[in-house]
């Protein structure tokens, strides 16, 4: 059973970079860290004057405390556009209350804004924040392989210059919402990367003094009104790429190796439709355009282990096996892999566990404690000191693989239908399939067990599997180790590449 984590955010302005790096309700672009702890270079666009003004500076991002249900966090922004003589200083402090509901697998967060100080100075004119209204809700779906989240936000702020809120010179109201057809706050987090895509629509309503106002004329307007609209699109993605590097010398023990490179893509786009101002007064002309800010960087690189299998050279699955062994997804301690040997349930449990999570070895203390009299046993055929106990525990506790009553049957051969079902189940996508009865596109659809048909349908939909050249899926055939490696490689590719396309290119670039 998947666990749903619901975050009800009463007043939250920022998602911390530990989750993603869209740190402002107006989008923005987080850059490289500065020499000050937890401070990052930062850009956002100010629209309060009726024209886009790119602000550059820093954001101070707090460290979120762990293992506590209540804490306070403060964010500081210092932004400047020297060409336009514009400065923004903003400090926001939140009291956060966390409530865990373990019986439902849910966690709620409430953010109370206890302090908000914001100063916007445009060429000597100070815009004073008079009022604001903000709400945001998000839902997290924690599947075994990927944590998905989505949500919506609404923000309304009113600023004035000169005088008082009742007797002002200039007034500007800004509304931002992601709760519309093109709006989205979505993201994911998994072993090979994480992302957040944030799309929202901003509307601005401004008032400026009418120099031709005639109080004796009932048709004369004291204020001239203007209207603007901005589509904001931010995308932060951290992902891993794997580059194969061959070795030229003959006198070396391996022909090549993989390097894992962790990268960040940070993109902020805005499309605006604003009035043209002449002599500081709005006209009927419009100022439209689209701009993109981005900051891409490589943040880490690691050489990976080199497997030395003696029985995979020239085999059709050699590349997949070498890749997974380099990632240590499959066990590479032996000199032989046996690519054409049947894949067992315990071997696949180990492979899929390593493909979607970091599995920690059990300590000797934990093993000794589990062997004491009275200790419970997960399955009758899985002793508590079983070599692969941690993998069985992971797939069982995360509802990825089940047993057969009180038995796991670790040495049983595993079928293609089982493998596909387990992978789609780990991704949490089975509920996206239609309800039975229906037929898949495969010519051997009649051979697909009913319990796996929805999973096979979804695997085909997301290109996780493609079947055989004769348009069959062979659901009941036993999977070889080479075939299992190819299927796990496809799962990793889907997580690190296909999901990435869904959450950035198809939304930001609107494929």
DSSP annotation of 435 reads P
Q: Which of 62-76, 208-222, 350-364, 379-393 has the lowest mean pLDDT?
A: 62-76
Q: Quick one: pLDDT band at residue 205, thresholds 50, 70, 90?
A: very high
pLDDT at 105 over 60: no
Beta-carbon contacts of 203 under 8 Å, excluding residues fewer than 6 positions away, are 174, 175, 227, 228, 229, 230
Residue 230: is it exposed, middle or buried by C-beta count within 10 angstroms (0-12/13-18/19+)? buried
Q: What is the DSSP letter of 62?
A: P
H or E stretch including 192? none
Residue-wise pLDDT for 457-473, tens only, equals 999 999 999 899 999 99
Segment 17-47, tens digit of pLDDT: 343 445 666 778 888 889 999 899 999 999 9
- Maximal C-alpha separation, the chain: 97
Percent residues over pLDDT 70 in the chain: 90
What H or E segment, with its residue span, contains residue 183?
none
Rounded Cα distance between 325 and 136, Å, is 43
pTM listed for this prediction: 0.85
């Amino acid at each position: 059973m998947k666990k749903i984590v619901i975050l009800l955010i009463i007043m939250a302005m920022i998602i911390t970079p530990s989750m993603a790096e869209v740190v402002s309700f107006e989008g923005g672009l987080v850059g490289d860290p500065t020499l000050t702890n937890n401070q990052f270079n930062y850009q956002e666009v100010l629209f309060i004057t009726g024209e886009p003004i790119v602000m550059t500076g820093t954001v101070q991002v707090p460290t979120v405390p762990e293992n506590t249900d209540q804490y306070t966090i403060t964010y500081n922004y210092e932004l400047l556009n020297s060409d336009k003589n514009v400065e923004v200083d903003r400090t926001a402090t939140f009291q956060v209350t966390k409530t865990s509901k373990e019986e439902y697998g849910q966690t709620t967060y409430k953010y109370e804004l206890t302090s908000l100080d914001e100063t916007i100075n445009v060429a000597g004119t100070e815009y004073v924040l008079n009022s604001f209204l903000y709400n945001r809700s998000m839902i997290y779906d924690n599947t075994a392989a990927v944590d998905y989240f989505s949500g919506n936000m609404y923000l309304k702020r009113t600023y004035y210059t000169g005088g008082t809120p009742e007797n002002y010179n200039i007034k500007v109201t800004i509304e931002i919402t992601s709760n519309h057809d093109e709006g989205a706050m979505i993201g994911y987090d998994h072993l090979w990367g994480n992302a957040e895509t944030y799309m929202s629509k901003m509307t601005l309503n401004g008032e400026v003094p009418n120099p031709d106002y005639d109080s004796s004329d009932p048709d004369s307007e004291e204020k001239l009104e203007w209207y603007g609209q901005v589509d904001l699109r931010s995308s932060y993605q951290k992902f891993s790429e794997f580059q194969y590097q061959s070795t030229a010398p003959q006198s070396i023990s391996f022909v090549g190796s993989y390097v894992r490179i962790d990268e960040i893509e940070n993109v902020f786009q805005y499309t605006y439709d604003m009035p043209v101002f002449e002599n500081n007064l709005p006209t009927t002309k419009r100022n439209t355009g689209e701009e993109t800010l981005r900051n891409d960087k490589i943040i880490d690189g690691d050489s990976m282990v080199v497997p030395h299998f003696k029985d995979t050279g020239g085999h059709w699955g050699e590349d997949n096996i070498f890749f997974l062994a380099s990632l240590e997804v499959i066990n590479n301690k032996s000199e032989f892999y046996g690519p054409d040997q049947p894949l067992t349930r315990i071997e696949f449990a180990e492979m899929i566990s390593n493909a979607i999570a970091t599995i920690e070895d059990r300590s000797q203390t934990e093993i000794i404690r589990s062997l004491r009299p009275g200790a419970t046993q997960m399955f009758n055929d899985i002793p508590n000191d079983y070599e692969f106990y941690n993998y069985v525990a992971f797939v069982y506790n995360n509802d990825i693989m089940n047993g057969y009553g009180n038995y796991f049957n670790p040495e049983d051969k595993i079928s293609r239908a089982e493998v596909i079902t387990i992978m789609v189940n780990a991704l949490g996508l089975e509920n996206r399939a239609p309800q039975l009865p229906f037929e898949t596109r495969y010519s051997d659809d009649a051979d697909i067990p009913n319990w796996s048909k929805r999973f096979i349908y979804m695997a085909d939909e997301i290109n996780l599997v493609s079947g055989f050249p004769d348009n069959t899926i062979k659901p009941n055939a036993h999977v070889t180790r080479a075939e299992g490696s190819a299927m796990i490689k496809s799962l990793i590719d889907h997580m690190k590449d296909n999901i990435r396309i869904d959450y950035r290119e198809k939304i930001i670039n609107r494929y």
